[in-house]
Amino acid sequence: MRFPALHAALIVIGLGGCANDPQYLQPPADMEAGMDDGMGGTTVAKAQLTLPIKPETSAEMAARMTLANKLGVMVPYVKVGDIDTEVEWTITNLDDSDGIAMIELNGANEWFRYDPSVIVLDPTDDEAPPTPGLQGDIPLDVPAKGSISGTFREDQILEASIDLDQITRGHVNPFAAVLTVNKNDQSFQPLSTYIPPTQTMPMPPMQTADGPAVPREAFAEMIEIDLVFKPDHHMTLDYDIRVRDHRGIMNSMGLDAPANQLTMFAPAVYMVGM
């Protein structure tokens, strides 16, 4: 996907005179969905892309451990503020009819992957709303045989990163995290593990403060971008990821970098009750 004019405008707006040269990451294939799934619905496409982060050096690890000891909390290798990420996308409707599509953005930091489809907050309520994604899920009108383009901006992915850290490490209710603007937070208070209600325990224990507050300098940044593409007609989703590296931790070869020159992150899928 290439939008020269759009790229130029975004660089001027996003960089604001910053000396960082953005790196563009183009996934190997488009996402395609909206076909008949054989069960009365349409297919959904999912994609994950891990950012090409260089392995942590011994000096970086020592500095990180020193900061963790000072703050009294875990400090990630990739912190909020180390990089700024943006996702530019284009949806193309391959059908002869107008359609509607939604893009849900989730992701992972180095510890946890957030997948709302596996998180059930209240298994006793069959009519409970589904657990929300971190960004997106807004209906978008796509004309027949036409295309539309848009962006998940840097500030939206910053918000998503902080929400993800609060939900997973802090056990904050996903609805509370997503429906609150947290991108300027200077700290968050971890809570005790959320216990979903059951038929035998409809009123589980209230969550309470658990451990020291996590300061912003220990917030985890997303190192993986996950997209869920949900169109109601046959469509494709083409996207690029733009990263501005403020700390020099991105491999300059991008997605072509050899595996031994990349950090092999292994985030756990977050589940309530963890």
Per-residue pLDDT of 132-183, as tens digits, reads: 999 999 999 999 999 999 999 999 999 999 999 999 999 999 999 999 999 9
Q: 255: helix, coil or strand?
A: helix
pLDDT at residue 20, as a whole number: 62
Report whether pLDDT(90) > 90: yes
Among the ranges given (20-34, 96-110, 165-179), the one the predictor scored with the smallest mean pLDDT:
20-34
Of 10 and 228, the one with more pLDDT: 228
Residues above pLDDT 70, as percent of the chain: 92
190 closest CA partner among 217, 205, 168: 168
Average pLDDT, the chain: 92
Chain length of the chain: 274
Mean pLDDT, range 43-67, rounded to an integer: 98
pLDDT at residue 273, as a whole number: 74
91 closest CA partner among 45, 60, 123: 45
Backbone angles phi, psi at 120, to 5 degrees: -115, 110
Report whether pLDDT(9) > 70: no
Q: Are 108 and 225 in contact (CB under 8 A)?
A: no
The answer to whether the predicted template modeling score (pTM) of the entire model surpasses 0.85 is yes
Confidence class of residue 274 from pLDDT cuts 50, 70 and 90? low
pLDDT at residue 172, as a whole number: 97
Of 201 and 67, the one with more pLDDT: 67
Q: Is the dihedral of CA 125, 171, 106, 186 positive or negative?
A: positive
Among the ranges given (18-27, 156-165, 185-194), the one the predictor scored with the smallest mean pLDDT:
18-27
DSSP 26: -
**Whole-number Å distance between alpha carbons of 267 and 83:** 19
Report whether pLDDT(15) > 70: no
Report whether pLDDT(13) > 80: no
Long-range contacts of 253-257 (CB under 8 A, 24+ apart): 253/52, 254/23, 254/24, 254/25, 254/52, 255/25, 255/26, 255/28, 255/49, 255/52, 257/52
Report whether pLDDT(199) > 90: no
pLDDT at residue 1, as a whole number: 42
Confidence class of residue 54 from pLDDT cuts 50, 70 and 90? very high
Mean pLDDT, range 37-48, rounded to an integer: 95
Q: Is the dihedral of CA 208, 211, 226, 26 positive or negative?
A: positive
157 closest CA partner among 139, 182, 121: 182
Residues above pLDDT 90, as percent of the chain: 87
pLDDT at residue 174, as a whole number: 97
pLDDT at residue 272, as a whole number: 87
Among the ranges given (125-129, 156-160, 167-171, 243-247), the one the predictor scored with the smallest mean pLDDT:
125-129
